[in-house]
Chains A and B, each alone.
Chain A
Amino acid sequence: MNRLIIENLSAGYGAVSVFHDVSIEVTEGEFVALLGTNGNGKSTLLNCIMGFIKPTRGRIILEWDGKALDLTALPAHEIVRRGLSMVPEGRRLVPSLSVEDNLRLAGSNPVVRDRLSQNLEYCYQTFPLLRERKAQLAGTMSGGQQQLLAIARSLMGVPKIIVVDEPSVGLAPIVVSQVIEVIRTLQKDNNLTILMAEQSFLQAIDVASRAYVLAHGRIARNFDRSSGDIDHDDIRRALLGAA
């Protein structure tokens, strides 16, 4: 079974610990939501998985095609090359580069650069808007358009798993729905594997097949759609850290 395994992970900033003993799993083809209110450590956890923050304890293992890769000690760019890609909080586009250059950048690492033009074409087919605007500077696009570009960019690395951090931040509610819908369609049509952090859980829970709730630095609950409908009140209680 192809999957990403987070085992007993703890991390923080200096002496301040943010989460402890977190264990989650993402299996190929799944859409997993990571829920939590403001400041509960969702971004810290995702950045830890991506190698931007080093965990103080625990392991991150990518089991794929019969091989188990330990990602725990790798720098971020090596983790990306092994098949994890990220749509980060705040998008982290290069505003002074054109749309196309932002995409090219992500498609030019040694693992995928042989297929750069095919991957670019795939992104443009998936997001025709980006083709129309390929020469526009990324920084001059609207927030929603930038979010689409950040999603398209994550595809340029031909990822096994896409880690999405709060795609809704800074967007108008109507745009949030559109962006989430885009991610859902993309996931379904291409059988992508997604781990997405969100605090506006109603929309996330609609599209996810499973969800973890992060509260007070621990995984407080997890929900699985296949074992019946997910009760929104149940999630609300978990988010607030009630047992």
Chain B
Amino acid sequence: MTQFDLFMNVVATGVLLGSVYAAVALGLAITFGILHIPNIAHPALVIMGGYFVVHANRFGVDPLIAALVGLVPFYLLGMLLYSFYANTFERRGRADVLQSLTLFFGLSLVIEIILVLAYGSELKSLTAPYIGSSLRFGPLTIPSRLLVPAILGPATVGALWLYFRYTNSGTAIRAVAHDERALSIAGLDPAAIKRQAFGLATATAVIGGAALAMIGPIDPFSGRFQIGRVFAIVVLAGMGSIPGTLVVAIGLGIAETLIASYLNPAWSPGVAFAMLLGALALRPQGLFGTVR
């Protein structure tokens, strides 16, 4: 393998990894980027989605089918979470950021504990015909366990983009980000629209979870490693931009694999952190400062 071939392989792996990060970050792009709710429990929900897929997989269900089926219960779960959040916090005006963070931090701990109690704390993995093989494209060798989940990211981004662009409820979600009163004037209930958006965000957690569990085994705490990464992606992508989320996630994936291959694998988790600091510099009002 030539130096160039190696470089190409590293970049290709980065693109694939970044596409998976996009699937994990998308839900947060909706909750934090559009609704301005700092849902730090999203990575935990993603892992919960992963466990849903792992569980179904034990009964021989293909991970992709399981993820599709899981969209429905996770959508409902998300609506329930939003109702709880709105009733406790948003009733008296805007929610306090610290209180919201506490709530979602608590929620991620609860999710982790439930997963430990139900499945134990050891690593769980998936089996599917496409996990384990690899494909060759000229000089590129792409492991299928990366290729299939990497398709999930862009596919979900594409579906969401079409939804936001071409459906009435998608348009309403874009509007709620700007002005709730504009929705009321349209005869639409802003609370219902936000609940729907939160449901949608939570539904994407199953897809992100399926993608993560295909790449490698997961345990109940795997979400913790994603928190900094997904927030960095969402903020850098420009708060709520769906295509931006994909672009930034892929950029991060490439940066991480380049650094892991040429410098030191131990540094790659720091890349997201460096990008996060960069993001803060670009957004001086702070990560949780209101933009409105």
Check A112–B175 contact: CB distance below 8 A. no
Docked Cα-Cα span, A110 to B188, in Å, equals: 8
Q: Are B178 and A109 in contact (CB under 8 A)?
A: no
For window 177-228 of B, CB contacts with A under 8 Å fall at 178-179, 181-190
Known: A94-B179, A96-B178. A77 touches B184 (CB 8 A): yes
* B174 CB within 8 Å of chain A: yes
A92: contacting residue among B172, B179, B189, CB under 8 A: B179
Quick check: A111 and B187 within 8 Å, CB to CB? yes
Q: Contact flags (1/0) for B151-189 with A, using CB distance below 8 Å?
A: 000000000000000001101101100110111111111
Chain A: CB-nearest residue to B190: A77
- Give min CB distance, A85 to chain B, whole Å: 7
Assuming A94-B174, A113-B168, is B187 touching A106 (CB within 8 A)? yes
Q: Which residues of B contact A153 (CB under 8 A)?
A: 185-186
A105 touching B184 in the complex, CB below 8 Å, given contacts A77-B189, A97-B175 = no
Q: Which residues of A contact B178 (CB under 8 A)?
A: 94-96
A92/B187 contact (C-beta < 8 A), A97-B171, A97-B175, A105-B175 known: no
Any chain B CB within 8 A of the CB of A20? no
Q: Which of A50, A105, A154 contacts B183 (CB 8 A)?
A: A105
B residues near A112, Cβ cutoff 8 Å: 187
Residue of chain A at shortest CB distance from B167: A108
Q: Assuming the A-B contacts A75-B189, A94-B178, A96-B174, are A104 and B168 also in contact, with contact meaning beta carbons closer than 8 angstroms in the complex?
A: yes
A93 to B178, CA, bound (A): 9
- Given contacts A105-B171, A105-B175, A113-B168, whether A52 and B187 have CB atoms under 8 Å apart is no
Q: How far is the CA of A111 from the CA of B182 in the complex (A)?
A: 17
Q: Hey, which chain B residues are within 8 Å of A50, CB to CB?
A: 185
Q: Which residues of A are found within 8 Å of B182, using beta-carbon distances?
A: 92-94, 105
Q: Which residues of B contact A52 (CB under 8 A)?
A: 181, 184
Tell which of A95, A105, A110 has the most Cβ of chain B within 10 Å.
A105
Q: Given A97-B171, A97-B175, A113-B168, A108–B181 Cβ distance below 8 Å?
A: no
Q: Mark A107-130, 1 if CB is under 8 A from B, else 0.
A: 011111100100000000000000
With a cutoff of 8 Å between Cβ atoms, the chain A residues found around residue B179 in the complex are 92, 94
**Most chain B beta-carbon neighbours within 10 Å: one of A77, A85, A153:** A77
Known: A92-B182, A95-B178. A77 touches B171 (CB 8 A): no
Contact of B168 among A51, A77, A94, A105 (CB under 8 A): A105
Q: What 1/0 flags go to B26-45 for Cβ under 8 Å of A?
A: 00000000000000000000
Q: A119 → chain B, closest Cβ, in Å?
A: 12
Q: With A and B bound together, what is the CA distance between A81 and B188 in angstroms? A: 9
Q: Which chain A positions have C-beta within 8 A of B171? A: 97, 101, 104-105, 108
- CB within 8 Å for A105 and B181 given contacts A96-B174, A97-B175, A113-B168: no
A75/B186 contact (C-beta < 8 A), A94-B178, A105-B168 known: no
Which residue in B168, B169, B172, B185 is a CB contact (below 8 Å) of A86? B185
Question: Smallest CB-CB separation from B170: which chain A residue?
Answer: A101
Q: Verify B186–A105 contact, CB threshold 8 A.
A: yes
Q: How far is the CA of A116 from the CA of B175 in the complex (A)?
A: 18
Known: A97-B174, A105-B175. A92 touches B185 (CB 8 A): yes
Question: Quick one: given A95-B178, A96-B178, are A85 and B172 in contact (CB under 8 Å)?
Answer: no
A36 is an interface residue with CB less than 8 A from chain B: no
Which chain B residue shows the least CB distance to A157? B187
* Residues of B close to A97: CB separation below 8 A: 171, 174-175
Residues on B with beta carbons closer than 8 Å to the beta carbon of A94: 174-175, 178-179, 182
B contact residues around A104 at 8 Å (CB): 168, 171
Q: Does A167 contact B (CB under 8 A)?
A: no
Residue in chain B with minimal CB distance to A88? B185
Within the complex, what minimum Cβ distance (angstroms) separates B116 from chain A? Answer: 42
Q: Which residues of B contact A (CB under 8 A)?
A: 168-169, 171-172, 174-175, 178-179, 181-190
Can you show 16 pairs from A to B with CB atoms below 8 A apart? Answer: A76-B184, A77-B190, A80-B186, A80-B187, A94-B175, A94-B182, A95-B178, A97-B171, A104-B171, A105-B171, A108-B171, A109-B188, A111-B187, A113-B168, A116-B168, A157-B187
